[in-house]
Structure 1
Amino acid sequence: MLLAAHQGFSQAAAPAALAQAAKLEAEKKYESAYQVLDKADPKNQQPAVVLQKEKLLLNYYLIALNFQGFGLKDLAAGETVERLRGKEGNYSMHLLDIPQTLARLQKQFPQDYRLSQGLGDYYYRAMLCHCGEQDKTEAQLLDLVIEHYGRAHAHQLGDFMTYYAVGYGHLAQGRAQPSVAPFEKSIALNPQYPDAPYNLAYALLQLKKPAEAIPYAQTSLRLYTDPALKADAARMLGELYQQQQQPAEAKKALLQSLDLQPQHYATVRSLLELAVTTHAADATAWATRLYRLNPADDQMFSDIMDIYQAQNQWAEAEAFFSGQLPAAPKTPAAQGLLHLYLAILNMQLRRPQVARPHFLTAQTQLKKVAKPDNPLFQMIEKGLAESKP
């Protein structure tokens, strides 16, 4: 009888404690809010209180130990969680094994699907911060997110973030098609959250549906305020327009991305590909800009040659690289790679006598910086044999 009376008192006290904790949370007094909840339910027997504890710990922790110990603090004026998180300080630590506690409560309250949503919240946050559940891979964590949020969704629980997380979980594991519906639901619940249309556009890009993807890419571009994220959205929009064979729109989007990130390799590469494909007069200018990002980058040389090769513009590629000889950096890597690719292009153009000196120079320069087993030397030896007078 005493136990029953105590439980009854605790249950009755819960609404008041939740209301008081919510008020303290709004005032950024996160430690005090947790203390109120812990006093109301010290043994973690009440789902509503435990879920509110979880919310405080996951949203406002300043330090975390294996994602089972969480440091909280009542913030002073001007302090924010973002600025303090991960830094040393005087914090109160709270130990709570969230998945174990919620799983126990699920057995006691099998119809309370808020607990499923709470488990989804935990595994999603653990995946994002890489600070807990070290015995699980990212794929395993994402599958747990999908599983637990799925149960909540099946019982009309969830919000735009839980649906977004399910879509992300599928997409991050290469499952574009099942990501579409949850992303669409997330957008319907909150049209102002830019990550959902961005990732939906990316999923549709993977599904080779550029026409369907373009409006979502446009939406994310409009909604993002962070320059890097806005540049990513514009770059993807440019790629979608390219796939739709709309070069003018593609160039406009790519230039918008480049304005935000002037040194971004992928954007410059896309603009070069667009110019070469459309035989634009500024192709050489874009190739030069890509080359100058890093004249000693083998990937850059390969990309430029591949772009010209795809349009069967071997002579144009050779002319471009030849044009870089006077101003190319005198470092061994930059000189060696430039001469190597000039040699390859001249061999393709059936000019072995022109290619051979480039092969010899490439060999001399690259020996200064590359190991003897580098595959480039096999290519050079083959070229020298084929270009021997």
Structure 2
Amino acid sequence: MMRLLSLFFLLCAGLGPAPARAQTAAGTAAAAEATALRQARQLVLERRYEAAWQLLALTDPANAVPAVVLMKTDVALNYYAGTENLHRFAFRNLKLLDPSLDSIRQLGQDSLRYAFPVRKVLERLQTRFPDNYKLARALGDYYFIVQQCDCAEAELGEDEVFRRTITQYQEAHAHGQGDYLSYFALGYAYQRLGQFRESLVPFERALQLRPTYATAHLNLAFVLLELKQFPKAQEHARRALELFPDDPHKEDAAFLLSQIEERMK
């Protein structure tokens, strides 16, 4: 009997600490992920994009951790040296005097070493974590970049890409996941679909968040011209002309302003 009791207590003693060990392991993993994310952000600031990607890939090789995948998505979409349909990527560690990423992309000489099918990865996580609206924001960014680079999703067609951009950004914005860039992109998607009235609110919201964003002023001026709201269109075109730092964009704003003023006569 004593042996049975002893065995019982030993088993209980062995089972007792298991939840604590599991919590400790989870806490350790979360701390490691947070450290990796901080280091990756620093590497991006240093323009060491390949090193940032390699660190993130080592931290979450299965693309199962939303915070790490979101950082991977940011690096993949904004700092790639080359891509194949936004499924495979090349990255570089750049030095101060190296060419810009745009110049490197145009050369198309980099080996596409890293597989990361952005849309597939994000959609899979969105299914697993439906309340993580940062994933909707990331998918909105993805579809907006698809349209800008014309480098993926050719089978969808441009209008469908814009519709998906709108769907994802609306969900993200409804849950507090937005900034001036995402509101501008939402307005731009409506604008390109010819839904000018729908584009007004997101463009105006973008300018509330970033009053000096010249591109939003320019696009809002165009939309207001289409809606025959000429004084407001003139105001935003003038503001865009003031804010753009470079001559080509100033010329675009000046041309639009001349068109508005011609219509006002």
TM score, norm. by length of structure 1: 0.60
Q: Do structure 1's residue 87 and structure 2's residue 91 form an aligned pair?
A: no
Alignment of 1:243-322 (within 5 A): 243-245=263-265
Paired with 2:255 and 2:109, the residues of 1 have a C-alpha distance of 41
What secondary structure, in the 3-state scheme, does the structure 2 residue paired with 1:86 have?
Answer: helix
AA aligned to 2:117 is D
Identity score, percent: 35
The alignment of Structure 1 onto Structure 2 pairs a total of residues equal to: 245
Q: Do structure 1's residue 201 and structure 2's residue 218 form an aligned pair?
A: no
The answer to whether the 8 A contact 1:120-1:148 is kept is yes
Structure 1 residue aligned with 2:8? none
Q: Do structure 1's residue 173 and structure 2's residue 193 form an aligned pair?
A: yes
Paired with 2:178 and 2:186, the residues of 1 have a C-alpha distance of 11
Q: Deviations over 1:205-246 (max 9, x none)?
A: 00011012111010111111232221121121112222222x
Structure 1 runs of 4+ aligned residues shifted over 3 Å read 1-10, 88-92
TM-superposed deviation, 1:9: 4.1
Alignment of 1:76-155 (within 5 A): 76-79=95-98, 80-91=100-111, 93-155=113-175
Alignment of 1:291-370 (within 5 A): none
The answer to whether the 8 A contact 2:82-2:110 is kept is no
Q: Do structure 1's residue 56 and structure 2's residue 87 form an aligned pair?
A: no
The answer to whether the 8 A contact 2:144-2:165 is kept is yes
Match of 1:35 among 42, 48, 54: 54
Structure 2 residues not aligned, in runs of 5+: 1-17
Q: Do structure 1's residue 192 and structure 2's residue 212 form an aligned pair?
A: yes
Structure 2 residue aligned with 1:71? 90
Match of 1:10 among 29, 38, 44: 29
Q: Deviations over 1:319-368 (max 9, x none)?
A: xxxxxxxxxxxxxxxxxxxxxxxxxxxxxxxxxxxxxxxxxxxxxxxxxx
Q: Do structure 1's residue 221 and structure 2's residue 241 form an aligned pair?
A: yes
224-233 or 132-141: which moved more? 224-233
Paired with 1:136 and 1:5, the residues of 2 have a C-alpha distance of 46
Structure 2 residue aligned with 1:241? 261
Q: Deviations over 1:257-296 (max 9, x none)?
A: xxxxxxxxxxxxxxxxxxxxxxxxxxxxxxxxxxxxxxxx
Structure 1 residues not aligned, in runs of 5+: 246-389
User: What's the RMSD between the two structures over aligned residues?
Assistant: 1.8
Q: Deviations over 1:172-221 (max 9, x none)?
A: 11111000010000111111211101110110100011012111010111
Larger radius of gyration: 1
